[in-house]
Amino acid sequence: MNVSPGSDRPEGIRVEVLRVGAREDIALVRIRGFIDTTTAPEVHRVLAELQREGLVNILVDMAGVGYVSSAGWGAFVGEIRDLREKGGDLRVAHMSPEVREVFEMLEFHRIIESYEHVEEAIDDFDLSLGLDITRGVVRRAPESAPETVLAAAPRMEPMTSPQSLTEDMLPIQEKIRRIVIEFPLGGLWHIWKTLRSPRFGHTRINPLRLYRILREMNLETKEKRFRFYRSR
């Protein structure tokens, strides 16, 4: 079932929903294109419609997705609480290395469970539902005909407010050092939010750029940041 047909779907995305699993009660959502502020509402609409149909176990196949912005990940995170309250969950599978890098860098892996392969995720869903997948034939995700999606190039979106805010006089590297010294076990998300606080002049920075700066400072992991803290 293609739930984003014709002219109704936003440019740059195609969404297809299949029922999979031993009891066919898992919604496999295949997305092709990119997910940003222009296409995230379509993802939200599809996920909300699945919930209205009573499908609360949702697996998103990301094999055809080339880029996901913070708004795109927000569309998934926004549905997880409702799904889990209903006894279900949302999981993702088959991310490209580029998409996975941002997924882990922004620490969404702490919220959304991910898998390398769709079949592995389906089996895990069935096991969580109390089904014995060792008996009988394990259902695999049905193959769909290849599709060509003509998509406009995605716009890399900073996770910042468009407002012009006052900058602190300290250079960005010094701001980061002070944050790390005060909270050495904080993740990238904590550093990003603290930089945006009034104390640091509401510093606006794209998370990707922040990660690159942390790498240049040799502070891109919690272990390295803790070693820096201990070395002072």
Per-residue pLDDT tens for 119-128?
988 988 887 7
Mean of pLDDT values over 65-92: 89
Q: Which of 12, 106, 3, 108 is nearest to 47 (CA)?
A: 3
pLDDT for position 223: 85
Q: Give the pLDDT score at 5.
A: 42
Which pTM was predicted? Answer: 0.59
What are the domain boundaries of the chain? 6-128, 172-231
Band the pLDDT of 193: cuts 50, 70, 90. confident
- Are β-strands 113-115 and 57-68 bridged in parallel, bridged antiparallel, or unpaired? unpaired
For 20-24, what is the mean pLDDT? Answer: 90
Look up the CATH architecture of domain 6-128.
Answer: 2-Layer Sandwich (3.30)
| Residue 104 confidence (pLDDT) above 70 | yes
As a whole-number percent, the residues of the chain with pLDDT over 90 amount to 31
Among residues 83, 117, 207, 225, which one has the least CA distance to residue 157?
207
Tell me whether residue 183 is exposed, middle or buried, using C-beta atoms within 10 angstroms of its C-beta: 0 to 12, 13 to 18, 19 or more: middle
Of all residues in the chain, the percent with pLDDT exceeding 70 is 78
